[in-house]
Every structure is written in structure tokens, then in C-alpha cells.
Structure 1
Amino acid sequence: VVMFRDMAKKVLARDHSPNRVNIYEIMSKPVISVDPDMDVRYCARLFDRFGLSRAPVLEHQKIIGLVSYTDIVLKGFASELG
């Protein structure tokens, strides 16, 4: 997964030319994905452990969405209130 933040920190801030940098060099590693049926609490712990802000959601090895820490927090508040 490559975020704008990755490009800013690992390319622009280091004064590298974007034309000379491979995606593999700046992408977040390891690639961590989540299952659509994963418990929200487990997903939050996974994000915390690996310092993630978002992750792809995979079903049958296809990306079906993207989940973010914001999504997790909102879902957690909704379940507490509901």
C-alpha cells in the first residue's frame, strides 16, 4: 500500500526524483490486509501493533474495500451507543 505520506516522507523529503524510485521502495511493508468478517476490536489491535492507519479488505484474494482507523473508531462508538 502506498500513501501520499509515504511518497512525501520517503521521496520528496529525501530529495529523490519520483521518476527514479520504485513503488516497492516506498510502499508500506509487510502488506497487511483484513478479512471483511474480522472483529472490529481485533482489527484495531492489528492496526495498533503494526502502526497502520488503513488496510485493504480482501475477499477471495480480491480487494473489496479499504478500512481506516477512523472507520474502526466510528464503528466502535456506534456499537457502544447502539
Structure 2
Amino acid sequence: MMTASGTRIVRARDIMNTTIHYIDGMATVSEAAQMMRKEKTTSLIVQKRGPDDAWGLIVSQDIIRGVLIEGKKADIVNVYEIMAKPLITTPAEMDIRYVARLMNRVGVRRMPVEESGKLVGMITQADLILKSSLFGDVFL
């Protein structure tokens, strides 16, 4: 699909990472860090506790701020203590130009992609540039 100006519309689903790693909020930060190393990722989605709950997110910066800098022990701090919650998600069909504006407006570097109430992927600021054909096919 094209915009009125003739630019191809690139949607969140076109460039998102489809692998999502989940962790329980009761897990320790040590367990979260081990999972991040094993999966080679810097972010984990914190599972909902029930149907009326919201997803959370723990990223490497949370561990640095909430444990390392604070001098706390990662094996006694729980994920729920340092995670971000609730998450702002983006619809899978959203044009990435609007995704970029939303991410910039709320000050996040990564955002889960949602479709029909389920998380289907994760999009990062780097994905907006590196995986988008809006800037030519150099990075594809």
C-alpha cells in the first residue's frame, strides 16, 4: 500500500521481531539476567498475573538502575520490583512513522506489537531504521 505522496507504507508487523521472551514477575533479577544472557536479548516481557492485569517489561537498564547502581543483590530482588508496567503497545498494522512518533513521545526504545489482544512481536528504535525500506534497500 502507498501513501498519498507515493511512499510505500511499512507497518509494525513488517519489521518487528517475532521472538518474545517472557518471565514471571516473581522471578529474581538474577534469573532475568541469566535468561537475557541465554536468549541474547536485553528485554523480557513480564507475564500478566491474570486476565485483568497488564504486561510488564524488564530491560537491561532496569537491572543496572535498580540493582547494580543501588548495590542490591540480584538474587533477592524480584523482577516486579524494578520492571516497567503497564506497557504501551503498538498495533501490528500501524505505519512505522506513527510507531516512531509514539515511541519518541513516550520516551521508549522498544515497544511490544499487539494484535487481537495478544503480543505478536517487539519493535525497537533500531528496527525502524535498519529494517525499513523507507531509507532504501541498503539495510534489508
Q: TM-score range by the shorter chain?
A: 0.7 to 0.9
Which residue of 2 is the match for residue 45 of structure 1? 101
Give RMSD over aligned pairs.
1.7
Please report how far the alpha carbon of residue 80 of structure 1 lies from its aligned counterpart in structure 2 after TM superposition. Answer: 4.1
Which residue of 2 is the match for residue 32 of structure 1? 88
1:1-82, aligned counterparts within 5 Å? 1-74=57-130, 75=132, 78-81=133-136
**Contact (CA 8 Å) 2:129, 2:135: kept in 1 or not?**
no
Flag as ranges the 4+ runs of structure 1 deviating above 6 A.
none
Task: Give structure 2 stretches of 5+ with no counterpart.
Answer: 1-56
Identity of aligned residues (%): 36
TM-score (norm 1): 0.81
Q: Spell out, residue by residue over 1:15-64, the C-alpha distance to the aligned partner (whole angstroms, 9 max, x if none).
A: 11123323222112441111110111111111111211111111122221
> Which structure carries more relative contact order (alpha carbon 8 Å, separation 6+)?
2
**Which is further off, 8-17 or 18-27?**
18-27
AA of the residue aligned to 2:111: A
**Contact (CA 8 Å) 2:92, 2:115: kept in 1 or not?**
yes
Q: How many residues align?
A: 80
Indicate the structure (1 or 2) with the bigger Cα radius of gyration. Answer: 2
Please report how far the alpha carbon of residue 72 of structure 1 lies from its aligned counterpart in structure 2 after TM superposition. Answer: 1.0
TM-score (norm 2): 0.51
